[in-house]
A = this chain, B = another copy of it.
Amino acid sequence: MKQIEGGVCAAKGFVANGVHCGIRKNKEKKDLALIFSQTPAKGAAVYTTNLVKGAPLRVTKAHLADGMARAVICNSGNANTCNANGIEIANQMCELTAAQLGIQPEEVLVASTGVIGQKLDIAPIAAGIPPLAAGLDCHSESAAQAIMTTDTAVKQAAVEFTVGGVTCRLGGIAKGSGMIHPNMATMLVFLTTDCAISAEMLQKALRGDVAETFNMLSIDGDTSTNDMVVVLANGQAGNAEIAAEGEDFAAFMKALNTVTICLCRQIAADGEGATRLLECKVAGAPTLADAKLAAKSVVCSSLFKAAIFGADANWGRVLCALGYSGANIDVDKIEVAFRSPAGTITVCENGAGVDFSEEEAKKILLEKEIEVLVDLHQGTAASAAWGCDLTYDYVRINGDYRT
A81-103 contacts to B, CB under 8 A, are 81-84
Docked-complex contact B322 and A52, CB < 8 angstroms = yes
**Nearest CB of B to A182, in Å:** 8
Copies of this polypeptide in the complex: 2
Shortest Cβ distance from A305 into B: residue: B398
Q: Is A184's beta carbon under 8 Å from chain B?
A: yes
**Nearest CB of B to A58, in Å:** 12
Q: How far is the CA of A351 from the CA of B351 in the complex (A)?
A: 47
Shortest Cβ distance from A322 into B: residue: B52
Partner of A222, one of B225, B315, B321: B321
| Chain B residues with CB under 8 A of A224 | 320
Q: Is A49's beta carbon under 8 Å from chain B?
A: yes
Q: Is A200's beta carbon under 8 Å from chain B?
A: no
| Chain B residues with CB under 8 A of A315 | 117
* Chain A interface size range: 35 or more
Docked-complex contact B353 and A82, CB < 8 angstroms = yes
Q: Is A395's beta carbon under 8 Å from chain B?
A: yes
Once A401-B310, A402-B314 are accepted as A-B contacts, the answer to whether A50 and B302 lie under 8 Å apart by CB is no
Once A52-B320, A329-B51 are accepted as A-B contacts, the answer to whether A306 and B353 lie under 8 Å apart by CB is no
25 contacts between A and B (CB under 8 A): A50-B320, A51-B322, A52-B322, A82-B348, A82-B351, A82-B352, A116-B316, A116-B319, A117-B315, A117-B353, A183-B314, A221-B301, A222-B301, A222-B303, A222-B321, A223-B320, A223-B323, A223-B324, A302-B302, A307-B398, A307-B399, A309-B399, A310-B399, A358-B403, A391-B399
Q: Considering the complex of A and B, which 8 residue pairs feature the smallest CB-CB distances, nearest first?
A: A52-B323, A310-B399, A306-B398, A116-B316, A223-B324, A50-B323, A117-B353, A51-B323
